[in-house]
Structures are given as C-alpha cells and as structure tokens.
Amino acid sequence: MTESGIAAPSAKQLAGRVLRDMRERGVLPGDRYLTAREVGELLGVSAMTANRAMQVLARQGILTRERRAGTFVGDRFEADESPGLACLHLLIPRRSLRSCQQFLGPMILGLSREWPEAAIQYTLLPADHQVEFVKRLFESPALPKPSGAVLFVSSPELQRYASESHLPIVVSGSLHPDVENLCWVDRDQRKMGRLLADEIVTQGHQRVAVLMRDLWGSGDNLFLDGVQSSLSDAGLPIDALTVRSVAHEESLLAPTIQSLLKVRRPPTALLCRPVFAADVASRVARDLKLRVPRDLEIFAADYYASDGVAPLYPCTTPLVGYEQQGAIIGRMLHDLSRGEYPDPNHMVIDVALLPLAAGRGRKKG
C-alpha cells in the first residue's frame, strides 16, 4: 500500500505502461531501450520497481537484457497494438450532473493523460430505461469503435448490464452488493461518514440532520452507515438523527431545510452530502437569522476546493486527487480494452477530515 492508502501499481500494470512508451518512441527490435533507472524516472517509481516491470517484458521476449551491454527491444515486440478505445463516455444520470460536475474537470485530465487520442464526452442518462439507452448507445453505427465508459451514480440495473456486457467499463463509485466482475474506484465512503459524524459529536452536537441526494448509489448507503455507526457509538438516541433525500434544486432544497430548522427542537448540525446543499443551507440559515456555525454548524461530505483554498465547512477530502483517480480509471480501461482483467480490479481511496478554517468559530455544547 502507498501512503495515500491505495495499492501501488503491480509489475504487470507497470509493464503495460513501459510497452506503451516503447510504441510511442517508435522503437524496433534490436534498438537500445532505457535503463531501469530511466524507466523508474519515467514511471515515477524506484529503479527496483521498474526493474520488476521490465522483467515481465523480458520473460515475454519483448525486451532483452544483457549484462553490461544494456536493455534492447526484443524480437517479440510488436510496434502496432490492437486499436485502443476511440471514445470514452462519462455516463452520468442527468439528475446527478450538478453533484458530479465539480470533480469531472480534473478527472477528465487524468483520463486524457492515459488516453490522449480518445474522444472523451459526457453522456447524460435519462431518469428511466437507462439500460436500454446505453445498449442503443454502444450499438449505434455512428459511435466510434471501439468505445468504453465510466459510470457515475449508477443504478444496480446499469451495473449488472455493464458486468454482463464485457464492455470496457469502469465504475467511479462503489458496486451494488449483487454486482460482480466490474472494475471500480471510490473513496472510502463509510469512513467519510464516520469521520464527519465523529467531528459532529466532538463539537457537542446532540441533534443531527443529514441531507442526501435524491438519487442514491451504493456509496451513499455506506456513507450513511458510517454516520449511524458513529452516532450509535457516541450513545446518541435513535431520534438524534434525521435524514432527508432531496433533488439538487434550490427550489426543493431550501424549503426542506427550512422545515428542518423551524421545528421546536431543530438540529444544531447539518451534514450535507453535496456541497451545493451546504451552500443552500447557509443561505437559508441566514434568512432565518441563525448564526453559522454558532446556532447551526454545516458540514459537507463532498468538497472540491482548489488546492490551497480553505474549505467553507468541515468536510472530508480524498488523499488521492481526482486527476489521479481519472488516471487510475484510465489504466484499468487500458487493461479491459486489451481483453485483460485489471489486478487489482478496484481501488478504495483513503480520506481525511478537513476541519473548519481557524478563526471561524465553533458551536460548543
């Protein structure tokens, strides 16, 4: 494991990146290739790790290694590979675009680094009949072939279809319990919920409301499990937690938040799954003459501030950035496009708590 909490690339995965570099350089059998130290610098790994990757290619005859003479391109090296993916679809439910759009930019940068020649485009899914929509998409004669996809906030039905289709598809998020044989990358959702609820308890709050999205994925269940586990361990009663599921529209969010805050004993902590809901909650609290964070403390699960920008709310952040997550997904798609199953087939990315910026004041007791 790396310090960031995800598994380091295997020798086989690194060997695939070396092979792509050889093709990009236009080398031919018999040509001299890089040393292990140079390959390590290229891949951002140690020379010892690079040497293991090169040994994988040497066993396949793609590289030949001669003591003191160096490393050369082997006779079994083929300059042309099977066609890569011509198009990558980011499949996003239309209702979830607002919650995804803040991290899609850096994620696309990571994907494009791994797939510089592929067209990368958003494809917004309808609320109903998503499987039929995706089937038509991949079967369309107008679609560049071959094509792959990344699923966001995906339903069990869509994940099952992706698993059974054997198409190059990776899930950005967690798998539903009955889905197997799909590659996926997600933050540690249960830990996210746990860290935030622990912080809420630490700040002395006794009544908590959680605002979830209207469209849930498997990760949302894990997130709420983490919240409930923390509050239970703290000895808070079951009625200390209120959960609301609301669409990403201010016209729907604002009245929901108002109704939560106008009861006789309102929550003093509001945990918002999307940061957009936290922004709406801040405006509603101001309209109700509530002092934030003294009267109402707002927490955000998904916060995407730029590097160096202090968060507006206590929140969690992944220890691997979204650009790097995109690159991880891109490398999985490379394996799938070659008919290989990535090893490992998933990444659970560690998260950390970003507390409220100093000097903003906290509710105590």
| CATH T-level assignment (fold) for domain 11-73 | Arc Repressor Mutant, subunit A (1.10.10)
| CATH T-level assignment (fold) for domain 87-187+319-349 | Rossmann fold (3.40.50)
pTM above 0.85, yes or no: no
DSSP string of 81-103? -S---SEEEEEEEGGGHHHHHHH
pLDDT band at 80 (very low <50, low <70, confident <90, very high): low
- Tell me if domain 87-187+319-349 and domain 189-318 are identical in fold: yes
Higher-scoring residue by pLDDT: 185, 306: 185
At 296-322, the pLDDT tens digits run 999 999 776 655 667 788 999 999 999
- Tell me what pLDDT residue 2 has: 46
Angle 275-287/97-114 helices, nearest 10 degrees? Answer: 150
Q: In sequence order, what are the beta bridge partners of 172?
A: 152, 185
Evaluate if residue 70 carries a pLDDT over 50.
Answer: yes
At 257-288, the pLDDT tens digits run 999 999 999 999 999 998 889 999 999 999 99
Map residue 57 onto helix, strand or coil. Answer: helix
> 189-318 sits in which CATH class?
alpha beta
> What are the residue boundaries of the structural domains of the chain, listed by start?
11-73, 87-187+319-349, 189-318
Q: In sequence order, what are the beta bridge partners of 347?
A: 185
pLDDT band at 180 (very low <50, low <70, confident <90, very high): confident
Evaluate if residue 145 carries a pLDDT over 50.
Answer: yes
